[in-house]
Amino acid sequence: MSDNEIEDVSFLPGESLHRRAVYERGIIQRFRFVACTKAKIALGLVLVVLIIIIVALSATIANHQDTEKSSSEKVIENEKQQTTTLTPVSTPNYTATNGQPFPYHNIRLPHSVTPVSYKMYMHPNISESFFTGHVSIICDVNENTDFIVFHAKGLTIMTIKVSDNSVPTNLFGVVNWLEHEDNEQIYVRLMKYLPKGLKINMYIEYNGTLGTLLHGFYKSSYLSSSNEKRYIATTHFEPTHAREAFPSFDEPAMKATFEMTMIRDEQHFSLFNMPLKVSTKLDNGLYQDEFETSVKMSTYLVAFVVCDYKNVSETTKRKIQVRVFAPPDFIGSASYALEVAVKVIDYYEDYFGVKYPLPKQDLIAIPDFEAGAMENWGLITYRMADVLYDRDTASTHNKQNIAVVIAHELAHQWFGNLVTMDWWDDLWLNEGFASYVEYLGTDIVDHDWRMGDQFVTDALLRAAYLDSLANSHPISQPVSDPGQINELFDAISYSKGASIIRMLNNYIGEDVFKAGLVSYLNKYNYGNAQTQDLWSSLSEAASHAKLNTNVTRLMNTWTGQTGYPVVKVTRSRDKMTLTQSRFLLNTSPNAQNGTPSPYGYKWEIPFCYTTQTEPERPVKQLLTDVTATVDGILGDWVKGNCGMYGFYRVNYDPDTWRGIIRQLNQNHTVFSVPERAGLLDDAFMLARVGQLDYSVALDLSLYLVNEEDYVPWSSFLDSIAFLSDRLESKPVYSAFKAYLLKLMMNRLKTISEKDWLKFENISDLEKYLKAAII
């Protein structure tokens, strides 16, 4: 991957949000041929040889650094050509599809008429690829009005009737209805005004195409063991595709209850968010499935499937039915997902202090599915690879990934479904929380994965790289057009969102954090919330616990501006000075003076540090100004960002870096696994932007000769890839390869001595390390 490609990869939506994304070329792939000759290399690793190599390497890098920096800055300068905000929206032409003027001029729906309940009837013809339907929407009239606006896209509407819900014969005549294609809206003009306070019934008949675009109501297929192609009908509505399946008020705050009646043939069955109430055979040989009424929820969470699958079933401690559906030939691979889902639901009920509100939870494998998974309430849809686990053929990483994806989607049943963001500009409330909590849920499934440690490399450092690009964006940002919403599904909403929540949890403490979450979930259940509502709930919990922390003020600096800080630690005798500034990969003046921030690119930083004299006593210090001083700092070193809980980098004065390096060489376990991973990433990223000499980063990496843990190695291999790309065509590259191989010698020796046939005796992280090294 070229330098230009590296800098252009900023956000990877969809399935990459549930698995480790590779933003830079993997260095080990280029050394695979060398690693295979490890038996010919002397196993005795002499530190002096490494130091000599480092000296030579550092000198050569220094000679090339100005040239490389100039080249890199030219590449990063291309970021200016990328949008630093959402894709601009053109002014709509307010002309209806029939050529008449479209009277309503707002992409958001009016609140004069809002839905209370939907009663839906669907009849998909899978073989002919179309569906017919009708829906009765009970609505509240909140203002006197003579028009109604709702959403529909790609549907042919045959009939619209509006009546008084309590007096069905009292009809409000429809003058006409108009469609605006770009805004995906239907405008219904009435003969007379609807009075405020009235409940109306809007009845709509329509039909649509059962397409293959992987959103809306669409058709999918799979091959049976006899090589027969079988078809199913399924849905995917997030963010704005419910309107493609049924006329609706398709905004997240317009919650309602839903009833479903589905017509199907005998060889299929149907699924909905809620349990089946009754199934009736009709005179024409078809079946009519009627389902229980749903809880109040957003349209994007509605789901229904017509298929011929099999299922496995289990119940939770509270007797919630959990089922996993898959094509008949794949049902043997569904038991692991079932086991994970039951464990995680039980855990989340306890952790959140709020019971799962539905009587069942289905998980279903979809052959053609654009996203990794979708958290439809009570009927979660998955890519087949993200829910089906073949114990005989699948990898360990695949097993972990399935657990992570399941834990993520189940977290949404509380964060996103029970409490939903008011509008898409707060999407991170859904995705950031689910991306944090997924690690907690997965850790319950298998503690040996040490998901808390893996969070650092898979989420925090990943987000830190992307958020240091000039074309990043704030976690919360205004969005209006449906076309812009998909752009918000990126690693900033997911991984940075998760990282700052984890940081806050650590700062105010688990008990206070959970108390705030319980308050938030109970206060806004079955409703909608904004970012400030969450901060208010957590602030109240902090206040009740007598913590002097204004959570709202603190966290606004992390959600309301792009990027994050680097804290420079400078020591003079027993005094430590902390100085914060924005960390950017592009150090050019244009990047530094880019998009203005309402907080002036100053953060309230929950800084934490330990010292050599008290390495096990973390000290918390809220850094609210650009600089702060701390007295009484003793010992050879001070280490910032305890446990790598903070979403910031730390740089040190030369003497402190030397002290940290000495400590790593003497006993690296004084620093935790996440801290060691963070030190490596910080050092190489700081060197990359010229804030630290590469010799310091390379010296620090020498301790890896004794590092046995996968997580720091993963961090190092990701970090060193950038340097490898810069040196690959240079004469110094041979010295660089020698340096890497010397670092890896102990690990290669250990790997060669293990009996890998006895897989049950080897931890999963050891397997990950082997895969990374070799």
Q: Which residues are designated catalytic?
A: 409
Q: Return contacts of 172-181, CB within 8 angstroms, 24+ apart.
A: 172/200, 178/96, 178/97, 178/98, 178/100, 178/102, 178/103, 179/96, 179/97, 179/98, 179/152, 180/92, 180/94, 180/95, 180/96, 180/97, 180/102, 180/104, 181/97
Q: Tell me if the bond preceding 239 is cis, omega within 30° of 0.
A: yes
- Please report the DSSP string for 729-743 in residue order: TSTTHHHHHHHHHHH
- Say which amino acid occupies 263: I
412 is in an annotated binding site: yes
Computed on alpha carbons and rounded to an integer, the radius of gyration of the chain in Å comes to 29
Q: Which residue is it, tokens 């209806």?
A: 96
* Burial group, residue 36, by CB count within 10 angstroms (0-12, 13-18, 19+): exposed
Q: How many distinct helices (H) and strands (E) make up the chain?
A: 22, 28
Most distant CA pair in the chain, distance: 94
- C-beta separation of 477 from 425 below 8 A: yes
- C-beta separation of 472 from 597 below 8 A: no
- Rounded Cα–Cα distance for residues 164 and 74 (Å): 66
111 is in an annotated binding site: no
- C-beta separation of 473 from 428 below 8 A: no
CA 669 vs. chain centroid, Å, equals: 31
Q: What 3-state DSSP class applies to 695?
A: helix
Structure tokens at 257: 């209850």
For 481-503, give one letter per residue: b (16+ CB within 10 A) or e. Answer: bbebbbbbbbbbbbbbbbbbbbb
- Rounded Cα–Cα distance for residues 345 and 491 (Å): 25
Q: What CA dihedral angle connects 458, 464, 466 and 467, to 10 degrees? A: 140
408 is in an annotated binding site: yes
- Rounded Cα–Cα distance for residues 333 and 385 (Å): 10
- Rounded Cα–Cα distance for residues 741 and 736 (Å): 9
Sequence-distant (6+) residues with CB within 8 A of 217 are 122, 124, 131, 208, 210, 233, 234, 235, 244, 245, 304
Candidates 210, 247, 249, 250; CA nearest to 231 is: 210
| Residue set of the binding site | 408, 412, 431
Residues annotated in a binding site for Zn(2+): 408, 412, 431
